[in-house]
Amino acid sequence: MSAASHQGANKRLATGGRIDRTKPLRFQFNGRSYHAYEGDTLASALLAANCQLIARSWKYHRPRGVLSAGVEEPNGLVQLHVGARTVPNARMTETPVFEGLQARSIHAKPSVEFDWRSVNSFFARLMPAGFYYKTFMLSQKMWHFFERHIRKASGLGESPELPDPDRYEKRFAFCDVLIVGAGLAGLSAALAAGRSGARVILADEQNEMGGWLLSSDEFIDDIPAATWLAETLKQLQAMPQVSLLPRTTVFGYQDCNLLTLAQRCSDHLGAIAAVGGVRPVRERLWKVRAKQVVLATGAHERPLVFANNDLPGIMLASSISSYVRRYAVLPGCQAVVFTNNDSAYDAAFAMRRAGAKVTVIDARAKPDGDLSVQALRLGLDVFSGHVVAQANGGKCVRSVEIYPFDHEGKIIGAARRLPCDVLAMSGGFSPVIHLSCQSGAKPVWDDVYQCFLPGIPVQAERSAGACAGVMSLADCAQQGVLAGLSAAKTAGINTASGATVVTAAKIQAQVLGSLRPLWEVPHPQPTSRAPKKFVDFQNDVAASDIHLAVREGFESIEHVKRYTAMGFGTDQGKTSNINGMGIAATLLQRQIPQVGTTTFRPNYTPVTFGLVAGSELGDLFDPIRTTVIHDWHLEQGALFEDVGQWKRPWYYPHQGEDLHAAVAREVLAVRHRVGTLDASTLGKIDIQGPDAATFLNWVYSNAWLKLEVGKCRYGLMLDENGMVFDDGVTVRMAENHFLMHTTTGGAARVLAWLERWLQTEWPHLKVYLTTVTDHWATTALVGPKSRDVLRKICTDIDFDDLAFPFMSYREGTVAGVKARIMRISFSGERSYEVNVAAAQGLQVWEAIQEAGAAFGITPYGTETMHVLRAEKGYIIVGQDTDGSVTPVDLGMEAMVAKTKDCLGKRSLSRSDTQRTDRKQLVGLRTRDPLLVLPEGAQITHSADISSLPVKMIGHVTSSYMSPTLEHSIALALVKGGLTRMDETIYVPLRDGRVVAATICSPVFYDPKSERQNA
């Protein structure tokens, strides 16, 4: 029944429920206004308003209604709110109503009452599983044409297009015992562990803690379940060591007992105004490291698979119990209950006591005797040994057709039609073993209850209650107590004070009883004429789709899942997968364990991007690191680029200069006079210990044992595959003390790499690594006048070439500050790197600027640095290499020592790394001196690119206009490039032109390196 036709109807019971009738609320659904009470969910409020049609199905756009009352809901997905705060695919069964809530159905056009795409239902037989692949993928062009239309016709909610205005947090926590699920088992475990003194976190995904107790009319310790629940929560709240987290879903179980939790902090309150300019936290991500974990996650009821079992008004039996008792909503007045076990009788009794006429259809020949007595006492009609073969209706269920059902699983005799406006179904329960499986445990099949149970734990966890296959409240309580005590004791807590909380003898509870496996109800008509029997409601996967998949050769349930899309939705098959496995196993004549189970992966339920991101947005997405000279660069008008996490000056434009003009000026200043570069960001790793030289000899490809104290050496690091990993200059400060320089962006990666090898392969080496990048401020003083500048402010070092040769290190005083000075060069010019303690970095930088003013000193940025190094053919790891380049490919085979072993050296002898047609580093000169090739451009051997595909022989890695040479230059990786000198190659451009270039040496300037001593 649609909202349009029954907006004024009311199915709210006059009394009962946990809703607060003194706090009425108003909300909107699909543009219409409705009434609710505090404590209602969107689903319960709409059912109370007799609004059964709430959605359309994904593929066929069939009418759909609420199926469940919890997180397993496959149908009731809505779009919440509007604008920046909109939320797609929210489950209405978990969405609390608040004043002013706005929600609308998704996947219905123009409206949920009239969806013109429902015409798909008439062509359902033409759209079975896999029809996309068979129909639209005959050619790539055909698929691209139909794809956009298919995507419009299917899909779920709409992502927000505006920035999220809300605030999200992350929190890390530790505890002795983390208990997941606050039903009877979880609460009993929390009481036992909490009374023992253990630090306990109890998390539950519902708005209220209590699980099934919120919908139960049973007695615990001779008091109603609701009263026992309130008293228990009061006890737990009084324990300072116990933290209660309602509205918190544990969605992932990681290694080492790390669990991730999503806490919904303010969604149930609606949009709250910011206080003092700060919005309240909308969601909080918890990362909890627990000594022990108790999983009390309960079980999900399974639907039954019969013809038209997806009509609005057909619901899970346990959910109907919840709506009647917890929300005071009677979904229908003429009810049919279809079951293969005892549990559904609870829904029948609840509806009957609420005033409905109820008929029970039990697939078992002989239901439990006590149930039969209670059913007769309440005036229920019971048809044992019968099944519902088909439901009838349009936008709601109106009747069912039942048949006798024999012991062989066949329908016999004539049909009987029973009118109804609600159908409760129960096909058994599937324990929620998701977190257990995520922890690494392998599920095991239980033949009694026809479900998977948690396997042997591989982490510090245990399961209790319904998720462990316990199907009575008494046993759940007892097992919860034992699990809580065991977890606390294993965590090192004295559990003498954790007395028994609940005794099994004091609970009278409904149990599951005997269960008759019933994966698919047969239909009297042939499959080709019978209505669809749905297995996965969200993805419109019918039993016929599984039949087809098996017929086409799919035997593994993982393959069946992917072919049919079963379990692919936001519910991840919580109500469908076991039925699908059962149908596949029956068709294959195997047992369900032989067919296998689908993989339970995080996340247990969808989580928002906001939760994952937390506050790490915008400038907070990644730490912004600046040098101590950063403010000076700002004052000089520098523009910056991000290098790793660092803000580095890109170039310093003067008035009227663009990038190219500024870089040309800076380059020429360095080549003819002197320039300064803030090199503080280069990675610096302090390496000490008696085995430091031995360690460097292993990690660098060249030799290091004989490097003299006070000398510097350039080194290449290779990974295990022989590919260049990083490079840099390392200085020997003392016999057992080295200072390693790395690339700016690679510092953390290199340190982790070195630590990994020390800890895993060479733990016997006495080597100690310390990152000191932030400890030192570095000024690179570069150019033919650099020595003259230094001599003005450093008088205790002899800068003569014989006393201080290239690739040497000295200590002295610069501008009154103790300094380490290295004579190394990344430009080809005479160059000194002045290192001082970071606190004095700005002082020394300014002193150098003042001393160099007479020589026309010019600060330069990273773009100029790139041009200078490219003119000399110096590489940048990560730009001129890509993880597939060896030293030989770079023309640096001399950097691989022949007399020693090192990381990656053996990989250089592989046939692949010795191929002559590998991409090798070369230089390129364009025929047009002013044309700068685009970096990343592909290289071909021919100017003719008309025949596709065009064969590529390489790509441009670096490309610049060289002010020194007044010609464009480029570095490139070209197949067999070192043997193709002076050969002409071609570079296709985006504008259609094909540019000719000549392969040359990558060293464009000062090939004999004479200027570094100029």
| pLDDT confidence of residue 286 | 98
Judged against a pLDDT cut of 60, whether residue 736 lies above it is answered with: yes
Q: Calculate mean pLDDT across residues 440-458.
A: 94
371 contact partners, CB below 8 Å, separation of at least 6: 342, 345, 513
Residue that is written with structure tokens 């709210």 in the block: 12
Q: Which helix (H) or strand (E) holds 315?
A: strand 314-316
Q: How many CB atoms lie within 10 A of CB 26?
A: 13
Q: 625-632: long-range contacts at Cβ-Cβ below 8 A with a sequence spacing of 24 or more? A: 625/681, 627/678, 627/680, 627/681, 627/777, 627/841, 628/680, 628/777, 628/838, 628/839, 628/841, 628/842, 629/678, 629/680, 629/777, 629/841, 629/842, 629/845, 631/842, 632/842, 632/845, 632/846
| pLDDT confidence of residue 152 | 67
From residue 85, give the alpha-carbon distance in Å to each of 454, 580, 949. 38, 37, 47
Q: Calculate mean pLDDT across residues 798-826.
A: 96
Using alpha carbons only, how large is the chain's radius of gyration in Å?
A: 37
| pLDDT confidence of residue 619 | 82
Query: What 3-state class would DSSP assign to 946?
Result: coil
Closest alpha carbon to 29 in 63, 3, 62, 60:
3
| pLDDT confidence of residue 219 | 86
Judged against a pLDDT cut of 80, whether residue 527 lies above it is answered with: no
99-113, 130-144, 881-895: range with lowest mean pLDDT: 130-144
Closest alpha carbon to 987 in 947, 948, 949, 932:
932
Residue that is written with structure tokens 């990560």 in the block: 878
**Helical segments of 432-511, H only:** 434-438, 473-490
| Burial class, 268, CB count within 10 angstroms (exposed 0-12 / middle 13-18 / buried 19+) | middle
Q: What is the DSSP string of 364-391?
A: SSS--HHHHHHHHHHT-EEEETEEEEEE
Judged against a pLDDT cut of 90, whether residue 950 lies above it is answered with: no
**CA separation for the pair 926, 576 (Å, rounded):** 64
The partner residues of 986 in beta bridges, in order of sequence, read 940, 996
Residue 521 half-sphere exposure, CB side, CA atoms within 13 Å? 36
Q: What is the DSSP letter of 130?
A: T
Judged against a pLDDT cut of 70, whether residue 154 lies above it is answered with: no
Judged against a pLDDT cut of 60, whether residue 501 lies above it is answered with: no
| pLDDT confidence of residue 136 | 63
| pLDDT confidence of residue 368 | 75
More confident residue, 257 or 598: 257
Strands (E), 506-634: 507-508, 534-536, 541-542
**CA separation for the pair 650, 859 (Å, rounded):** 11
Judged against a pLDDT cut of 50, whether residue 3 lies above it is answered with: no
Q: Calculate mean pLDDT across residues 970-979.
A: 96
SS3 of 730-752: EEEEECCEEEEEECCCCHHHHHH
Judged against a pLDDT cut of 60, whether residue 565 lies above it is answered with: yes
Q: In the structure, what pLDDT confidence band is assigned to residue 948 with cuts at 50, 70 and 90?
A: confident
For the chain, how many helices (H) and strands (E)? 22, 50
Judged against a pLDDT cut of 60, whether residue 294 lies above it is answered with: yes
Left (φ > 0), alpha (ψ -120 to 50) or beta: where does 408 sit? Answer: alpha
Judged against a pLDDT cut of 90, whether residue 153 lies above it is answered with: no
Q: Calculate mean pLDDT across residues 932-954.
A: 91
**Peptide bond before residue 526 is cis, with ω within 30 degrees of 0:** no
| pLDDT confidence of residue 7 | 40
Please, what's the b/e burial string for 323-350 (b: 16 or more CB within 10 A of its CB; e: otherwise)?
bbbbbbbbbbebbbbbbbbbbbbbbbbb
The pLDDT tens digits of the residues spanning 71-80 come to 999 999 999 9
Left (φ > 0), alpha (ψ -120 to 50) or beta: where does 1011 sit? Answer: alpha
| pLDDT confidence of residue 112 | 83
The pLDDT tens digits of the residues spanning 4-38 come to 333 446 899 999 999 999 999 999 999 999 999 99
Cα of 579 vs its chain's centroid, Å = 28
Q: Calculate mean pLDDT across residues 44-51.
A: 96
Longest CA–CA separation in the chain, Å: 111
Q: Which helix (H) or strand (E) holds 105?
A: strand 102-105
Closest alpha carbon to 566 in 539, 586, 543:
539
Q: Calculate mean pLDDT across residues 647-653.
A: 97
783 contact partners, CB below 8 Å, separation of at least 6: 669, 670, 671, 672, 673, 674, 675, 829, 830, 831
pLDDT > 70: percent of the chain: 93
Q: What is the DSSP letter of 884?
A: S
The pLDDT tens digits of the residues spanning 206-254 come to 999 999 999 988 888 788 999 999 999 999 999 999 999 999 999 999 9
The pLDDT tens digits of the residues spanning 68-123 come to 999 999 999 999 998 888 999 999 999 999 999 999 998 777 888 877 666 666 66
342 within 8 A of 313, measured Cβ to Cβ: no
Q: What is the DSSP letter of 618?
A: G
**CA separation for the pair 118, 131 (Å, rounded):** 18
Strands (E), 839-951: 858-859, 919-926, 938-940
The pLDDT tens digits of the residues spanning 585-644 come to 999 999 999 888 888 889 999 999 999 999 888 888 888 999 999 999 999 999 999 999
Q: Nearest 10 degrees: CA dihedral of 823, 826, 829, 835?
A: -40
**CA separation for the pair 204, 225 (Å, rounded):** 18
| pLDDT confidence of residue 921 | 97
- Amino acid symbol at 545: D
**CA separation for the pair 950, 477 (Å, rounded):** 71
Left (φ > 0), alpha (ψ -120 to 50) or beta: where does 321 sit? Answer: alpha
903 within 8 A of 717, measured Cβ to Cβ: yes
Rounded to 5°, angle at Cα 964 from 958 and 965:
75
Q: How many CB atoms lie within 10 A of CB 914?
A: 11
Left (φ > 0), alpha (ψ -120 to 50) or beta: where does 904 sit? Answer: left
φ/ψ of 352, rounded to 5, equals -65, -45
Q: In the structure, what pLDDT confidence band is assigned to residue 275 with cuts at 50, 70 and 90?
A: low
119-128, 209-218, 919-928: range with lowest mean pLDDT: 119-128
| pLDDT confidence of residue 972 | 97
885 within 8 A of 935, measured Cβ to Cβ: no
Judged against a pLDDT cut of 50, whether residue 510 lies above it is answered with: no
| pLDDT confidence of residue 2 | 37
From residue 55, give the alpha-carbon distance in Å to each of 103, 108, 129, 568. 12, 7, 22, 18
Q: Calculate mean pLDDT across residues 948-976.
A: 95
Q: In the structure, what pLDDT confidence band is assigned to residue 513 with cuts at 50, 70 and 90?
A: low
187 within 8 A of 478, measured Cβ to Cβ: no
Q: What is the mean pLDDT of the chain?
A: 92
- Amino acid symbol at 630: H
13 contact partners, CB below 8 Å, separation of at least 6: 324, 328, 329, 330, 354
374 contact partners, CB below 8 Å, separation of at least 6: 345, 349
The pLDDT tens digits of the residues spanning 759-787 come to 999 999 999 999 999 999 999 999 999 99
More confident residue, 463 or 85: 463
The pLDDT tens digits of the residues spanning 412-447 come to 989 999 999 999 999 999 999 999 999 999 999 999
